[in-house]
């Protein structure tokens, strides 16, 4: 039966059934525990629904007859759900379970790409943290280049000796040249795939304590556009700064916690006077204060990660007032942290959820350094990663490939 053929009486009946099913779904979420804030909202919604219609308890509803809503309608609804919500609605009834599974899509974890040590060849290592497998590719075209940023399966590469800058996709070996930059490239980021018309590359450098030089370029352009900006608040640029692209803006965090924001649409630069995140006392004792911090973006939110001996500290930026708010856990997210750029996944399966993965592999590729907020410990060995032992520019997280045929597995 298709939706277009439903009579008004039947449509009302189906609507009431769907309302009851949503009631069951929200009850299941509360029973599963989905965060205090969200549970409070769900309980409020349940109270409103209970006042407006007579709804039986959860258990009888699950046992009632199968609803005859069209599968096409259920598919359209379920495709809009996150993986977590998809799994929960699949517990409502048999038909919902079948439809939910048919449209369920889990994200892939990114791979860790590691460049070979100097003068040791051109074989790059790729590590899959989900399968715990190592793969290898020989990439002589990257000789002498270091990683600068990665997004959408592309890596921004920089050769310090020649000041050459280019995009590179290791899976297709496609290369997109960019004009040379007159100043040495310290930190950089790009907004989207270089194949996208809106792609813009961004880098920032100090001219003086109160003058910042911002350079931008788009694929296909023959030169960089550089503009100097006078700032009221001092802004210090270094290789230790972090950049993310979020909601059309580039956010640049300094080692002192100052946040510079650049809008590529109107070429506007501003430095926010927000207070930096409050870090744990044991960080300085480790001698890795500069290296042990990362920044990531996900669904319009910005996260700051700092590793300490006891546990990672996570902050979320409240963009309306510029305040960093500490988080108790990741709410099911997975952060793949790195010095240059970090990636976030919200729909991973299994024990990778609610964890941070670090760019270091041990035991010959059998285990990646990680921290589980569910188990409140580091893996393996319950020891935090010593960032001071890592070259910050020789490893980067990149989207997983679709085709494994070009790789050699060892």
- Of 82-91, 150-159, 166-175, the poorest mean pLDDT is in 82-91
Neighbours of 364 (CB within 10 A): 8
Q: Crossing angle, helix 71-78 and helix 94-103, to 10 degrees?
A: 60
Domains and CATH numbers, the chain: 3-103 (no CATH), 111-409 (2.120.10)
- Of 62-71, 128-137, 370-379, 393-402, the poorest mean pLDDT is in 62-71
SS3 of residue 384 by DSSP: coil
Which two tokens mark 88?
A: 């929960």
> Is pTM, for the whole model, over 0.85?
no
Max Cα–Cα distance, the chain, nearest Å: 77
Q: Which residues pair with 270 in a beta bridge?
A: 261
CB 170 within 8 A of CB 137: yes
Mean pLDDT, the chain, whole residue set: 80
CB 324 within 8 A of CB 274: yes
- The pLDDT assigned to 2 comes to 40
List of residues 6+ apart from 332 with CB closer than 8 A: 84, 346, 353, 354
For 5, 61, 69, 366, 380, the CA distances from 91, given in Å and listed in that order, are 29, 12, 17, 34, 34
- The pLDDT assigned to 280 comes to 61
């Amino acid at each position: 039966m298709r939706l277009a053929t439903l009579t008004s009486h039947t449509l009302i009946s189906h609507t009431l059934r769907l309302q009851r099913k949503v009631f069951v779904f929200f009850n299941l979420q509360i029973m599963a525990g989905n965060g205090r804030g969200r549970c409070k909202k769900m309980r409020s919604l349940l109270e409103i629904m209970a006042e407006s219609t007579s709804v039986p308890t959860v258990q009888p509803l699950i046992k009632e007859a199968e609803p005859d809503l069209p599968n096409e309608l259920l598919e359209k609804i379920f495709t809009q759900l996150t993986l977590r919500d998809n799994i929960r609605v699949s517990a409502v009834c048999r038909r919902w379970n079948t439809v939910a599974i048919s449209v369920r899509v889990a994200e892939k974890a990114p791979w860790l790409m590691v460049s070979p040590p100097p003068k040791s060849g051109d074989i790059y290592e790729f590590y899959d943290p989900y399968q715990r497998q190592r793969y290898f590719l020989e990439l002589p075209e990257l000789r002498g280049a270091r990683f600068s940023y990665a997004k959408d399966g592309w890596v921004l590469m920089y050769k310090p000796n020649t000041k050459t800058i280019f995009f590179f996709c290791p899976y297709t070996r496609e290369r997109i040249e960019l004009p040379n930059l007159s100043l040495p490239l310290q930190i950089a980021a790009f907004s989207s795939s270089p194949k996208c018309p809106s792609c813009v590359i961004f880098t920032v450098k100090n001219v003086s304590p109160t003058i910042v030089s911002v350079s931008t370029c788009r694929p296909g352009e023959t030169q960089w556009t550089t503009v100097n900006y006078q700032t009221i608040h001092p802004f210090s640029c270094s290789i230790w700064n972090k950049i993310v692209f979020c909601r059309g803006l580039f956010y640049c965090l300094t080692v002192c916690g100052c946040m510079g924001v650049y809008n590529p649409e109107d070429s506007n630069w501003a430095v926010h006077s927000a207070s930096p995140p409050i870090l744990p006392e044991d960080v300085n004792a480790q001698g890795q204060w500069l290296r042990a911090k990362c920044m990531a973006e996900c669904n319009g939110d910005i996260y700051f990660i700092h590793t300490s001996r006891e546990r990672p500290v996570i902050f979320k930026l409240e963009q309306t007032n510029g305040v960093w708010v500490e988080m108790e856990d990741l709410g099911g997210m997975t952060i793949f942290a790195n010095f240059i750029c970090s990636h976030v996944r919200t729909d991973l399966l299994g024990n990778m959820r609610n964890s941070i993965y670090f760019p270091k592999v041990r035991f010959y590729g059998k285990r990646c350094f990680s921290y589980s907020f569910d188990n409140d410990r580091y893996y393996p060995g319950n020891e935090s990663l010593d960032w001071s032992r890592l070259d910050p520019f020789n490893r980067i997280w990149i989207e997983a490939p679709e085709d494994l045929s070009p790789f050699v597995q060892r």
